[in-house]
Amino acid sequence: MSALRVLLDTTWGADTGGTGRYVRSMRAALQADPSVEVVCVNAPRLTRGHRLVRLPLNGVLHLAWTQVGIPALAWRRRVDVVHTTMTGPVWCPRPVVLTLHDALDFMPEWRPSRVWSGYMRSVGALAARRAAVVLTGTQASAGEIGSFYRVAPERLRVTPYGSALLGVVADGDNSTSPVGASRHGGPGERRMEEGGLFFLMVGVADRRKDIGTGLRAVALLQGGGVEMEAVVVGSAPREFAGANWVRTLTDVTDCELAWLYAHALAVLVPSRHEGYGLPVVEALAFGTPVVASDLPALREVGGVAARYARVGDVAAFARELARVVERPAEERQRVAQSAGGARAMTWDATAQATVAIYRELVRRGA
């Protein structure tokens, strides 16, 4: 079988959120496939100058790159398929595979930027409808994208995302513990190093991720006499800045994140909206209990292995966490028995499913 040449737009690979992890993980998995030749390209970007000048100019550069640069490179590099993330060219001489994680830009309460969301609702939506295939991580997000972007069902494909941490060893001797990088010292540090006496959240302190609900649930448990700490990889709301039981970690390596997932008593995912929910998959892959918001996408990836609480309901989250605290060994055993699918969700599997779609498009001359 001849090598498939794929033009992969890795512009969003530097993003610190889920989009960046998707791009980086897919790039690594595709490059490891001997049947695929990956041509990685990035949009030009200004890094100097005043922010008020730099941001609009970068927007213009990105628009020109997406609509002119990528089609030109696809022709010049003689690739078979073009794969972009977030948005793509409206016209391209080669079939375009576009990855969308959700339809937040159509939802005023969640849209990250008015200007960017306006672009996505116009040019981005047209590009999605013109793409040969639109990929996403769950059936829930596929329904959302089909409805808002008006993408035909036959052009939507679900390729569940994997965990980049499955091959990472979280040492039992705490050599990969990130506790030393914590911004807050305190009497709980030794307990954290021993593992098992902290809850973990991964995300930023915005309204959609709702880290505050998770922390308020932990505080409610503490009020009932349960001494637990909370670790947030990302950022926590300002109201918890002075709490010595909240640890905020940034720039965490994969080994450190693996240690946290493996040693946490439970992982909280209190999001108000999700298109996938990678922390759920990564936690379950380590056999760690999960308490997540009762959202369709999170139920899809967590299945019966996770516990669920009503969105934004602090008391409900506290009740589910209390069940984990009361029976930690039984909870881990329950996860081990019901989360086998999470351990099979790797980026190699995601890449294989994606390559199969590439080849299907080439065969039918899309």
Q: Would you say residue 169 lies in a domain?
A: no
- Mean pLDDT, to the nearest integer, of 54-73? 91
Give the list of residues 6+ apart from residue 134 with CB closer than 8 angstroms, or none.
97, 98, 99, 100, 128, 145, 149, 151, 155, 156, 157
Does residue 184 register a pLDDT over 50? Answer: no
For residue range 338-359, list pLDDT tens digits in order. 876 666 788 999 999 999 999 9
Q: What is the pLDDT of residues 85-123, one digit of tens each?
A: 999 999 999 999 999 999 999 999 988 788 899 999 999
The confidence score (pLDDT) of residue 225 equals 85
Residues 196 and 335 in one domain: yes
Residue 57 shares a structural domain with residue 201: no
Tell me whether residue 252 is in a domain: yes
Say if residue 207 is in the same domain as residue 280: yes
Structural domain containing residue 208? 179-343
Domain-located, residue 168: no
In a domain, 170, yes or no: no
Please check whether residues 355 and 337 belong to one and the same domain.
Answer: no
The pLDDT value given to residue 284:
93
Tokens (6 digits) for 58 = 């970068």
Give CA separation, 47 vs 10, 50, 58, 69, 115, in Å. 17, 9, 9, 19, 20
Q: Whole-angstrom Cα distance, residue 42 to residue 47?
A: 14
Burial (CB < 10 A; 0-12, 13-18, 19+), residue 275, is buried
Assess whether 183 and 330 both reside in one domain.
Answer: yes
Please spell the DSSP secondary structure of 33-89, one letter per residue. Answer: -TTEEEEEE------SS-HHHHHHHHHHHHHHIIIIIHHHHHHHTT-SEEEEES---
| pLDDT tens digit sequence for 209-219 | 999 999 999 99
Confidence of residue 191 (pLDDT cuts 50, 70, 90): very low
- Between 32 and 364, the more confident residue is 32
Tell whether 315 and 357 lie within a shared domain.
Answer: no
Q: Each residue of 36-47: pLDDT tens digit? A: 999 999 999 888
Statement to judge: residues 351 and 323 lie in one domain: no
> Domain with 350 in it: what CATH number?
3.40.50.2000
Q: Is the pLDDT of residue 207 over 50?
A: yes
Looking at the structure of the chain, the number of domains it has is 2
Per-residue model confidence (pLDDT) at position 173: 53
Answer yes or no: is 174 within a domain. no
Looking at the fold, whether 87 and 146 belong to one and the same domain comes out as yes
pLDDT digits (tens, 9 = 90+) for 300-348: 999 999 999 999 999 999 999 999 999 999 999 999 888 766 667 889 9
Beta-bridge mates of residue 157:
135
Query: How confident is the model over 113-167, as pLDDT tens digits?
Result: 888 999 999 999 999 999 999 999 999 999 999 999 999 999 999 999 988 786 6
Within-domain flag for 124:
yes
Q: What CA–CA distance (Å, rounded) separates 45 from 14?
A: 12
Residues 329 and 356 in one domain: no
337 & 353 share domain: no
Q: How confident is the model at residue 69 (pLDDT cuts 50, 70, 90)?
A: very high
Closest CA to 217 of 295, 291, 294, 296: 291
Asked if residue 186 and residue 93 are part of one domain, the reply reads: no
Q: Is residue 172 part of a domain?
A: no
Asked if residue 170 has pLDDT above 70, the reply is no
Could you tell me if 203 and 272 lie in one domain? Answer: yes
